[in-house]
Amino acid sequence: MSLFDQVPTVPLDGTFALMEACRVDAHELKVNLTPGIYRDENAKTWVLPSVKQARAALLADQSLNHDISPQLGYPQLLSAARQLVFKDTLDGRFITSMQTISGTGANHFIASLLSSHLRPRTVWVPNPTWDNHREIWRHVDPGIEQRNYPYYDHETCGIDGDALLSTLKEQANTGDAIILHACAHNPTGVDPSPELWEGIAQMCEEKGIFPIFDLAYQGFATGDADNDASAVRHFTTRSSSGNSSTLEFAVAQSFSKNFGLYSERVGALHVVARTRDGAARVEGMLKRISRAEITSTPAFGARIVAAVLHDPVLKAQWRQDLRTMNGRLGDMRKRLYDGLTRRNTPGSWGHILTDIGMFSMTGLSPEKVAVLKDRFHVYLLPNGRLSVTGLTEGNVEYVAESIYQVVKH
């Protein structure tokens, strides 16, 4: 008998289980539309030209060593990361930034900080959202209630903004936290309008709700990193009753998607505070959390990102890389839409053209998703989310035909 016999059996993570099932699927026409990983036209993970150049320069540097990183992380990464998110909007604001293990680590750090010191009774999560948001908060503090706020309207394939705001107004309490997708919402691909962002910001300020931006897809929403940071910058600079913004909030930033550094796990957490003393206290506590969990952040991926963002030539190439990825996703959206509508596929498909980022909701039930997988070897998440990144010129017609065959009955 083992001491661990009392440990509950935990099922495999759904996304990773589907990815493994697809990996071992021997069918020649299989298509994996589950992961949020950018693929090129050959369905291979793409190494960005800007990243390739920066990596080559680093590997050629004979002075490169493997010394421990500063406790807050690689300084050149943090300065570039702040600039990428906030640009010139931080005048008069106090901010603490720390390198993290990608966006997941940033989300975990802020959940740990808030649960230990601000002690929110509730964290509000969009319905639907990235599954790991719930898992992170459940792991950090199962005593914090997780509640959904209305987000996606399956009838209109858009955002139910009125329900979103009214729910927060009527049910949220001072001190609650709220998770917001800064751009390219996962899993819907639908983002708030500027007017709705203003309504959310006003609601957070009036109700004393602490916003947490998950910025996992900067550059994937519009192909422009500045455009995709507009919601965060609005929260930083908005004025209330003629005064400068007093909103305190956090940003969990990831470089996995927009740099293609999925295995390097490069990210940052930024916490915007109202006072200098508050920011200093946040820094001290984040250092304590980091010391207990990872002690020191990985350096190589951070050096790659910093090299690209601090070099004007490489940065210009990176912005072109973003446009290349965004353009291919847009082309695949158009081809899938054309394939579905040409077949008169039952359902609403126009949103595929207007959704942004990596994902769209197909509206398929879990049962139809299962048929799609078992009969046609096309893999989606059970909620019907389709990752556009897995589409290519060689498989998009097959995917359209497969969806048509599943939903026509």
Domains identified in the chain, total number? 2
305-321 CB burial, b ≥16 within 10 A, e <16: bbbbbebeebbebbbeb
Confidence check: pLDDT of 14 > 80:
no
332 and 301, same domain (yes or no): no
Choose, from 130, 137, 197, 318, the residue flagged as catalytic: 130
269 and 295, same domain (yes or no): yes
According to the model, what pLDDT value does residue 243 have? 59
Confidence check: pLDDT of 21 > 90:
no
Choose, from 160, 191, 257, 321, the residue flagged as catalytic: 257
What is the DSSP code string of 293-353?
Answer: HTSS---HHHHHHHHHHHSHHHHHHHHHHHHHHHHHHHHHHHHHHHHHHHTT-SS--THHH
Among candidate residues 278, 310, 342, the one where a domain is terminated: 310
Rounded to an integer, the average pLDDT of 355-378 is 94
Whether residue 57 is contained in a domain is answered as: no
Q: How far apart are CA 247 and CA 237, in angstroms?
A: 9
According to the model, what pLDDT value does residue 252 have? 98
When pLDDT is cut at 50, 70 and 90, the band that residue 242 belongs to is low
According to the model, what pLDDT value does residue 290 have? 93
332 and 238, same domain (yes or no): no
**Per-residue tokens: 373:** 């997988």
Residue 34, Cβ neighbours under 10 Å: how many?
25
Taking only the tens place, the pLDDT of each residue in 187-233 is: 999 999 999 999 999 999 999 999 999 999 999 899 999 999 999 99
According to the model, what pLDDT value does residue 338 have? 97
According to the model, what pLDDT value does residue 16 have? 84
Phi and psi torsions of 54, nearest 5°: -65, -40
In terms of average pLDDT, the best of 62-66, 218-222, 401-405 is: 401-405
According to the model, what pLDDT value does residue 249 have? 97
When pLDDT is cut at 50, 70 and 90, the band that residue 244 belongs to is low
According to the model, what pLDDT value does residue 91 have? 83
Q: In the chain, what percentage of residues exceed pLDDT 70?
A: 98
Residue 274 sits in a domain of what CATH number?
Answer: 3.40.640.10
Residue 44 annotated among the catalytic residues of the structure: no
Say if residues 288 and 249 touch (Cβ distance below 8 Å): no
Residue 202, Cβ neighbours under 10 Å: how many?
14
Rounded to an integer, the average pLDDT of 110-118 is 94
341 and 303, same domain (yes or no): no
Residue 331 sits in a domain of what CATH number?
Answer: 3.90.1150.10
First to last CA, the chain: 52
Confidence check: pLDDT of 48 > 90:
yes
The DSSP bridge pattern shows strands 152-153 and 145-150 to be unpaired
Q: What range does the domain containing 387 cover?
A: 3-46+326-407
User: Who contacts 103 (Cβ-Cβ below 8 Å, separation ≥6)?
Assistant: 214, 215, 216, 252, 253, 254, 256, 267
Whether residue 58 is contained in a domain is answered as: no
Choose, from 160, 176, 191, 214, the residue flagged as catalytic: 214
3 state SS for 151-168: CEECCCCEECHHHHHHHH
Mean residue pLDDT of the chain comes to 93
Nearest to 117 by CA among 271, 344, 241, 11: 271
Whether residue 70 is contained in a domain is answered as: no
According to the model, what pLDDT value does residue 409 have? 73
Confidence check: pLDDT of 298 > 90:
yes
Q: How far apart are CA 305 and CA 251, in angstroms?
A: 18
Residue 257 annotated among the catalytic residues of the structure: yes
Confidence check: pLDDT of 241 > 80:
no
Residue 87 annotated among the catalytic residues of the structure: no
Taking only the tens place, the pLDDT of each residue in 251-291 is: 999 999 999 999 999 999 999 999 999 999 999 999 999 99
